[in-house]
Structures are given as structure tokens and as C-alpha cells.
Amino acid sequence: MLPRAVTGVGVTSIVGVGWPAFVEALRAPQPLTATGPRALTTIDLAKYPNARAFEVPDFDAARTLGPKGLRTLDRLTKLAVVAARLGLAEAALKRDNAFVALSPERVGVVCSNAYGSLEAITELNRVAKLEDPRYINPAVFPNTVANSASGYVSIWENLRALNVAISDGNCGALDAVACADIHLAQGRADAILVGGAEAMHEALFLAFSLLGTLDHPDHVRQVGHLSLGEGAAFLVVEPQRIARARGARVLGEIVGYGTSFEAPEEGSTLIGPSGDALGRAVLNALGDAKLDPSDVDVVCASLSGLHRADEAERAALERVFGSDGVCVAAPKLVLGETLGAGGAFGMAAALAWLEGARPATVVSGHAPDEIDTVVVTSLGFYGNASAVVLRRPQG
């Protein structure tokens, strides 16, 4: 791929809302395994007193979006729209929510999300089951389609170029980069909001809990479980010449993408994170960027604490970078596992490091004083894996 400029980032994360707050939080990261239980609004702590799930604290979309029109929006959409609005302002495309650069017809969205609006779907299933299918709220029904949060970003932000929703589990936000790159190459937009969103919900928490993947207070510090988080992150991605022409500040450049898939063995269960796929994805991304493994300063890994997946990823990174190799950092230990948004948070963390923040939660190796090149990885639960290469802006 041609290098793409990242000119702004917007986040709604469990460590803060907005790019400055996010970078600040990453300067002094607090691993979630060392964090006590927090108040939750999406999960009834009376029912699950030991729930260790992490929300964007005190999230109030009205602070960014104003009070009007929020009533029928679900949490997923609010997290996404707030992140999008903050990102567009950060990139100086908008001021006070009005375009000051480029035009609405030339700005698009590629948004990853893994599981759709469980809030809307579960609510309507509840009404249909316990009451009557004729009572389901027609204003909520459109939120059940998997692209609704992505669609609302275009509606709220008045973005009328393409809008693509992508659902590739944990890899979606990195695959969104490939998708956006292709659409930019075809001249379908001058800038694209690229990222992902995932919202905490009781059904999500229960599913991961029932599958035995979640941290539990009885073994808070025990390795082997992930901390479920939520949030949204969008990068404003532009062709270099457009960013240059409008005099935009460039936080970093996306210079390579790779992906791969390795089927779990026949007859095995569905879940089978593949280290081989991850290794190939990293090499494909480096090949795409015309870089070698030795050019990489830090790997922003998708290590989440989930033992089986982490083992596969660590082994793959060792095969690619050598055993005494590269610095590996795991921001999910601070930001939580945010699934469809995970890769977007990985890229946001990488950009924070390129801006001078020290890498959060280094799990092996040492970060060099100056970080120029970062590989971000995403390992899917089902055999897919993707990687993206970011570097400090050249010249």
C-alpha cells in the first residue's frame, strides 16, 4: 500500500475520552489486573457482584454531542459517534462540528464491530419473548442490523462518501485499514474515519464468562484470562498528498497491511487462534511496507491475557523477530479486550508511542528511546490474524 497519513484520532476508552486524555493515560498505565472492581452501568452488580468488566467511566454522550436525538441510540452507537466527532476535530477537518477542510461528500467511514448491538437485539428478543412481538419498539429495530453504529456515524457527522461496516471479530479494525486503503486508492474519498467500536453489555459479559475467558476476583492476578473492556477509536486516514495540501498535522503513517488465515484442525471446536496465521500476517504487512523484521522498534501485540491465544502469538512473534528480539507491548492489559475495536486501540497506542509516550505494558524486550516503526497485531479467535505497520511521518 501507499503510505497513508493519520491526521487525527478520536477515542472513547476505559482510560479516558479524547486523544489528549488517552495519550496522558498511556504515559502512566495501570494494568487492569491490578485494578479493583469499578462501578458499572451496563451490568447489574447485584446480579454479578464479582463482575470484572470495564466500561468507559461516566460516559455521557451528551457532553460531546449535545442532549438532542440521543434517546434511541444504543451505547455502541454513542461510543462510536463521540469517538468519530472527537477524531474529526482532532484532525482539523471540523471545528464546532462544521467542516473546515475537505467536504462531506469526500469523507467516509470504515467501522469494525464484532458482535453488533447486543443491547438492541437482546432488548427486542426480550420484548418478543416475554411480552409480544407486536410490542417491539420500531425506533430500536433499525439498531439490530450489524452496520447501524457505522451508519449513525455518517448520519451524525454528515459524512456522505462510502460507509463500510466490517465484522472480522478481533481483526476487524485492522482489516478496516485494508478496506480504507483500497477505497482511497480508488479515489472514493479524500479522508476516511477508520476504526472500530464495541460496547459492554450483560450478554457480552455473560458469553465470555460462560466460555471461561474472563478474569475472576479469586484469581485476579492469575495469568490466563482476559479483562473485557469497551470503547471506540477512529483514525482519520488520508492520502499523503491530501494531508499535505491542507497542511494537516500528521501523527503517523500507515505503511503496510497483512492478513492470513489458518483453519483449526478438522473436527476441532470453532475456536483456534493460529500463531502461524499471525506470523504470516506480520510478514505480509512488513512485505507490503517493504520493511524487514529488523526495522521494527515495537510490536503492539494483541496479547490480552487469554492463555491459549497469547501463547500462540508469543511463539509466532519469536519466530518472526527472533528470540532475543523485538520489544513487545500489550496495551490490552491496560485498555481491556475490546474485540472489534481492539486493532483501532492498538493503532491509537502505537501513534501515542510515535508521539513520544513510552509503550504501555512491555511484556518482553526493551523499547528504544526513539520509536519510529511499530507493528500492530490482531489475533482472531477463529484462525484469522491481521497486522498493520505504522511509522513516524517521513520528512
Partner 1 sequence: MTADDPTRSPPSPAAPARVLVTGLGVVSSIGLGRRAFFEALAAGKSGISRVESFDTTRIGRDYGGEVKAFHARDHLTAAETRRMGRCSAMALAAARMAVEDAHIRPSHLGGPRTSVVLGTTMGEADVLGDIDRAWIARGVSAVRRAHLPKYGSTLLPIHLARAFGTEGAVIALPAACAAGNYAIGFGADLIRQGRADVVLAGATEILQELQYSGFARLAAMAQQRCQPFDLNRQGLIVGEGAAVLVLESEAHAVRRGATACAEVGGYGLTCDGYHITRPHPEAVGSIEAMRQAITRSGVTPEAIDFVNAHGTGTRANDAAEAKVMHDVFGGRRVPISSMKSLIGHCMGAASAIEAVGCVFTLETGVFPPTAGYETPDPECDLDVVANAARTAPGGVANIVLNNSLAFGGYNAVACFARPGVLPEPPTLEVL
Q: Which of residues 88-127 bind partner 1 (CB under 8 A)?
A: 104-105, 108-109, 114-116, 118, 121-122, 124-126
Among 11, 81, 136, 255, binds partner 1 (CB under 8 A): 136
Among 31, 319, 367, 393, binds partner 1 (CB under 8 A): 319
Q: Which stretch binds partner 1 (CB under 8 A): 5-13, 34-42, 59-67, 281-289?
A: 281-289
Q: How far is it, in rounded angstroms, from Cα 54 to Cα 337?
A: 9
Among 331, 380, 388, 391, binds partner 1 (CB under 8 A): 380
Residue 359 in contact with residue 216, Cβ under 8 Å?
no
By C-alpha distance, which of 3, 31, 21, 6 is closest to 360? 31
Q: Does the footprint of partner 1 cover residue 71 (CB under 8 A)?
A: no
Q: Is 291 exposed, middle or buried (0-12, 13-18, 19+ CB in 10 A)?
A: middle
Residue 372 in contact with residue 360, Cβ under 8 Å?
no
By C-alpha distance, which of 270, 259, 253, 231 is closest to 378? 259
DSSP helix/strand/coil, 176: helix
DSSP 66: -
Taking the complex as a whole, the smallest distance from the CB of residue 47 to partner 1 amounts, in Å, to: 9
DSSP 37: P
What are the residues facing 378 on neighbouring strands? 386
DSSP 213: -
Taking the complex as a whole, the smallest distance from the CB of residue 214 to partner 1 amounts, in Å, to: 13
Among 214, 286, 299, 334, binds partner 1 (CB under 8 A): 286
Among 32, 382, 390, 392, binds partner 1 (CB under 8 A): 382
Among 187, 323, 324, 395, binds partner 1 (CB under 8 A): 187
By C-alpha distance, which of 235, 253, 234 is closest to 244? 253
Report the residue number, 25 or 296, with the smaller CB distance to partner 1.
296
Cβ neighbours of residue 95 under 8 Å, at least 6 residues apart?
Answer: 89
Q: Per-residue contact track with partner 1, 238 to 257, x per CB under 8 A? A: -x-xx---------------
Q: Which stretch binds partner 1 (CB under 8 A): 131-139, 222-230, 244-252, 344-352?
A: 131-139
DSSP helix/strand/coil, 102: coil
Interface with partner 1 (CB under 8 A), residue total 98
For helices 342-354 and 19-27, the axis angle rounded to 10 degrees is 70
Report the residue number, 26 or 388, with the smaller CB distance to partner 1.
388
For helices 172-185 and 342-354, the axis angle rounded to 10 degrees is 70
Q: Which stretch binds partner 1 (CB under 8 A): 26-34, 135-143, 243-251, 358-366?
A: 135-143
Q: Does the footprint of partner 1 cover residue 70 (CB under 8 A)?
A: no
Positions in 201-240 near partner 1 (CB under 8 A): 203, 206-207, 210-211, 239
What are the residues facing 280 on neighbouring strands? none
Residue 350 sits at φ, ψ, to 5 deg, of -60, -40
Q: Does the footprint of partner 1 cover residue 179 (CB under 8 A)?
A: yes
Neighbouring CB atoms inside 10 A of 48's CB total 15
Q: How far is it, in rounded angstroms, from Cα 281 to Cα 386?
A: 5
Taking the complex as a whole, the smallest distance from the CB of residue 74 to partner 1 amounts, in Å, to: 12
Cα 284 from chain centroid (whole Å): 21
Q: Which stretch binds partner 1 (CB under 8 A): 23-31, 78-86, 173-181, 349-357?
A: 173-181
Report the residue number, 121 or 349, with the smaller CB distance to partner 1.
121
Report the residue number, 172 or 252, with the smaller CB distance to partner 1.
172
Positions in 350-379 near partner 1 (CB under 8 A): none
Q: Does the footprint of partner 1 cover residue 129 (CB under 8 A)?
A: yes
Q: How far is it, in rounded angstroms, from Cα 350 to Cα 392?
A: 10
Among 85, 201, 225, 280, binds partner 1 (CB under 8 A): 280
Instruction: Report residue 391 as a C-alpha cell.
Output: 511509522
Taking the complex as a whole, the smallest distance from the CB of residue 80 to partner 1 amounts, in Å, to: 13
Q: Does the footprint of partner 1 cover residue 271 (CB under 8 A)?
A: yes
What are the residues facing 384 on neighbouring strands? 261
Report the residue number, 109 or 197, with the smaller CB distance to partner 1.
109
